[in-house]
Structure 1
């Protein structure tokens, strides 16, 4: 594999990750959640999404995007004990940086997004002019976004305890 091929694959992975996170964010908004942060970085890694609902619960959402019929159960096997520890440490730093959320009950959710073959267009897939899905994203309903078919396959609330 050439260096250019590696760069192209990495760019595609970043694009798909961003699209998957946006898809999940739009779904959460449709479920009456407010997105507090997207791709929040710290020394322990990244929190994909941080969201709250009516200031009653704070969710740290790990988004996994995988091809349909992949080997690791849609990304679920990537949530190892080490990954859980890193997410918990990142969440602790987030709460230190944003003390207004520190009193809220917290949970760690996992969103599994599948992507399939590149699609050109779809008359039933709602998208905004910027290529992002509209807030009417539904669980297990595919949408075509920026040339990809994405599907929020599963959303696991309180997927693990730190």
Structure 2
């Protein structure tokens, strides 16, 4: 009994002497909800889909110490390609930015110096959801905190190269997943 009481007291002293834990890195949205179906606003216009093709509103908090920039990607791991489908890859978002408004892709709403990558539809910028009819697909939204202000990328890089450089320079990431079917 003495041992259990001593251990409990020691654990209490240690926990009180530790600094408060940093806030967890989190990604949120006013237009996309975890586990919920995407609205027509974020659906592609083409390939048999008739959406508005607007990038979602995204916000992030609890940024890791040392962050010098951010990258965001939206990826569909369920696309029947053998390698998934990249819907949006944007890098070199300044460290001072903590959110992007809905429809920011391809607009002046993106901060200066941001680089949007060609998506798997073959267009630069955001390309909304458009899975084959009858299939439910997941859309993984991820923000990465990066240790560099600007990723060393060539002009027109592939999404695979951007993914590699993003992960190689990541201090942490936060994700959420939505779904879509038609």
TM-score scaled by structure 1? 0.29
More strand, by proportion: 1
TM-score scaled by structure 2? 0.27
Structure with bigger RCO (C-alpha 8 Å, 6+ apart):
2
